Structure 1
Amino acid sequence: MRIRNLYDPPTLKDRDPVVPWVPGGMTSSARLTAEGCEITVTGDSVGWLYPPLQDGLAKVVWEKADGGTLIGIRSNDTVAIYPGVTVLVRLCGYEDASLVTMLNNLGLPLVFAATDRPY
């Protein structure tokens, strides 16, 4: 099994800032900061962030600054971005979907294994 950190955290320096889609009457913006990709959504509803490119892997997920993964690990759909500020700090990808099940069963976050080494 193999997992790899796709970009050098915490800057996501190899990617453009990702801006979620928002409905009319709302605004969204994104910028790169020292922490990562800072996304700001304003309005009364919800915006949607599209999943990152798979890059030939079984799955790619965004990691939020609070340690949570933003894209669901069971599906690769768009995810809700609520009004306020969300900071993304890295992308993690894996070649074998069974890795996520194993980490979940152990109670470990996906980023526990986010280094470029075999397991």
Structure 2
Amino acid sequence: MRIRNLYNPPTMKDRAPVKPWTPSGMTAEAKTTGEGCEITVTGSGVSWLYPPEQDGLAKVVWERADGGTMTGIDNNNTVAIFPGVTVLARLCGYEDASLVTMLKTANLPLVFAAADHPY
């Protein structure tokens, strides 16, 4: 299986801040910090972060600074962002759509496979 990083290293510091969509009554702000992309959502409810560009890969996913991988909803890859502060640290892409399932089964984070060499 071949895994390909979108950035070397694949950090969110290399991208413009991404701001999620919010329903009325909620607000969202995003800024680039030393840790990555910091998203602050206020209000009660759920906001949605749309998927990044696929760049010819099977799937592209965000990874939070706390190590939690945000894989999104199965049908459109949007990610629920809840009120509070979320820091996105990495953006990883891969050619085989089964990678996230395989890593979750092995209890490994996505960053385990994020390297430009055969896995």
TM value normalised by structure 1: 0.88
Mapped to 1, the partners of 2:114 and 2:108 lie a distance apart of: 11
Q: Which residue of 2 aligns with 1:12?
A: 12
TM normalised by structure 2 equals 0.88
Q: How many percent identity over aligned positions?
A: 76
Tell me, yes or no, if the aligned pair for 2:13 and 2:35 is still in contact at 8 Å.
Answer: no
Counting matched residue pairs gives 119
Which position in structure 2 is the counterpart of 1:116?
116
| Aligned 8 A contact 1:9 1:36 in 2 | no
- Taking only aligned residues, the RMSD between alpha carbons, in angstroms, comes to 1.9
Unaligned runs of 5+ in 1: none
* 1:50 partner letter: Y
Aligned residue runs from structure 1 range 60-99, under 5 A: 60-72=60-72, 74-99=74-99
Q: Distance in 1 between matches of 2:115 and 2:73?
A: 18
Q: Which residue of 1 aligns with 2:23?
A: 23
Separation in structure 1 between the aligned mates of residue 52 and residue 74 of structure 2, nearest angstrom:
15
Cross-structure match for 1:51: 51
Find the aligned partners of 1:30 and 1:111 in 2 and give their Cα distance: 23
Structure 2 stretches of 5 or more lacking a match?
Answer: none
State the alpha-carbon separation in 2 of the partners of residues 118 and 82 from structure 1: 36
